[in-house]
Amino acid sequence: MFKEVKEFEFITISEAREIMEEIAKKRRERAELLFETRRALRHLRNFSKLPAEKAKELVEELIKLPQVQRRDLAVKLADLMPRIPDEVRIVYAKERFTITPEQIEEILEIIDKYRI
């Protein structure tokens, strides 16, 4: 019944939506989608803010910044697409270092380039 996790990777909501769309397409060919699948797909469609390719590009660009560096932080920032400094501070609230206003502005400038 339980499945073993073979590999783990942080992905954006946009990437998850793309994967889920493929799964849903295959399942529709065989039968009607389960309630959970439909619900998950609706959630992903509602909250994805970028196309999957653009989200990947944004994550890669954010990882290059010294204040981000970790993929999990970059993915969270790409999912949230913060508009104001306080939204960025919330992402960093649990981190062991303080982010400066200049670093926050740098993050927001990069995110603004990808905003639709």
Whether 74 shows a pLDDT value over 80: the answer reads: yes
Q: Which CATH class is domain 52-114?
A: mainly alpha
Q: What is the mean pLDDT of residues 77-99?
A: 94
Whether 113 shows a pLDDT value over 90: the answer reads: yes
Measured between alpha carbons, how far is residue 11 from residues 18, 27, 53, 99 in Å?
A: 11, 22, 12, 23
Residue type, 12: T
- Please tell me which residue, 78 or 4, carries the higher pLDDT value: 78
Whether 48 shows a pLDDT value over 70: the answer reads: yes
Q: Are 107 and 74 in contact (CB under 8 A)?
A: no
- Rounded-to-integer distance, Cα 31 and Cα 49, Å: 29
